[in-house]
């Protein structure tokens, strides 16, 4: 059996996420080249999320909305202004840095920017979705203003592969399903009750007919039991 692409869906606390990126805090949702080898974005599909992030029906493509100007005063509403790609000084914003990288890839090809994606599932609970390639961007009018949307596809580069286990391709698990599973399984491995190093795991892999769209096919497993299950997949 060959090593195949894996969506990670590791579960982390906010502190664990910061530690993973060697950062005291992660207050920005967009972090171009936070690490010399990759960029980092924080996404959310929750109903109260400030931006419109979504996963396409193909299950491996993310559309990520750019970020607004900073709030200048109590009365100021950034949602009434076009999202900026440059500061008044001419320096590129985080939007601008991601746009420049995506535009260069579209024009010249080559290797796209590698982006590590974390998703907020619940307050204080984050999911590492894995590494994605930044392949394009677009400008969309949302009815009031222009916003940027970045297109990212699950990467097949080595950063997104497991070195210890062999697993089958699966789809991104929707946020609603993750929240339902987290609450149902009470934030613990269903096999041993461990609350550390958890993963969202499919009972039946997507490639074998399983679905990511139902909590009935997803459960919480600790790293030990996730590895044990993966070793049995043929």
**Residues 156 and 171 both lie in one domain:** no
The residue from 128, 161, 194 where one domain ends is 161
Instruction: Collect contacts of 172-176 with beta carbons under 8 A, ≥24 apart.
Output: 172/7, 172/55, 172/59, 172/60, 172/62, 172/129, 172/212, 173/7, 173/9, 173/200, 173/212, 173/218, 174/45, 174/55, 174/212, 174/213, 175/44, 175/45, 175/46, 175/119, 175/121, 176/45
Q: Which CATH number goes with the domain that contains 228?
A: 3.40.1800
In this prediction, residue 228 carries a pLDDT of: 75
The residue from 161, 187, 204 where one domain ends is 161
In a domain, 3, yes or no: no
Task: Report, as ranges of residue numbers, the positions in the chain whose pLDDT lies below 50.
Answer: 1-6, 161-170, 231, 233-234
For the chain, how many structural domains are there in total?
Answer: 2
**Residues 29 and 99 both lie in one domain:** yes
Are 137 and 98 in contact by the 8 Å Cβ rule? The answer is yes
| Domain range enclosing 205 | 162-234
Q: What is the pLDDT of residues 196-217, one digit of tens each?
A: 888 888 887 666 767 777 888 8
In this prediction, residue 171 carries a pLDDT of: 63
In a domain, 2, yes or no: no
In this prediction, residue 160 carries a pLDDT of: 53
In this prediction, residue 5 carries a pLDDT of: 43
Length of the chain, in residues: 234
**Residues 137 and 182 both lie in one domain:** no
In a domain, 1, yes or no: no
**Residues 128 and 176 both lie in one domain:** no
Helix (H, G, I), strand (E, B) or coil at 228: helix
**Residues 51 and 154 both lie in one domain:** yes
Q: What is the pLDDT of residues 37-68, one digit of tens each?
A: 999 999 999 888 999 999 998 888 999 999 99
pTM: 0.77
In a domain, 41, yes or no: yes
**Residues 176 and 150 both lie in one domain:** no
């Amino acid at each position: 059996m060959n090593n195949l692409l894996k969506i990670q869906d590791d579960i982390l606390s906010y502190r664990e996420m910061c530690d993973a990126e060697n950062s005291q805090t992660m207050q920005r949702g967009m972090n171009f080249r936070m690490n010399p080898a990759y960029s980092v974005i924080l996404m959310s599909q929750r109903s109260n999320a400030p931006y419109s992030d979504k996963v396409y029906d193909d299950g491996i493509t993310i559309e990520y909305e750019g970020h607004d100007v900073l709030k200048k005063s109590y009365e100021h509403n950034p949602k009434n202004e076009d999202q900026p790609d440059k500061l008044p000084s001419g320096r590129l914003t985080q939007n601008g840095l991601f746009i420049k990288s995506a535009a260069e890839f579209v024009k010249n090809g080559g290797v796209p920017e590698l982006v590590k994606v974390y998703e907020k599932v619940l307050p204080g609970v984050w999911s590492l979705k894995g590494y994605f390639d930044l392949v394009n961007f677009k400008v969309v009018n949302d009815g009031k203003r222009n916003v940027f949307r970045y297109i990212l596809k699950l990467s097949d580069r080595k950063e997104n592969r497991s070195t210890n286990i062999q697993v089958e391709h699966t789809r991104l698990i929707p946020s609603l399903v993750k929240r339902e599973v987290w609450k149902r399984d009470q934030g613990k491995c269903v096999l041993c009750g461990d609350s550390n190093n958890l993963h969202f795991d499919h009972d039946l892999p997507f490639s074998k007919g399983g679905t990511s769209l139902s909590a009935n096919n997803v459960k919480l497993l600790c790293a030990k039991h996730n590895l044990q299950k993966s070793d049995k997949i043929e």
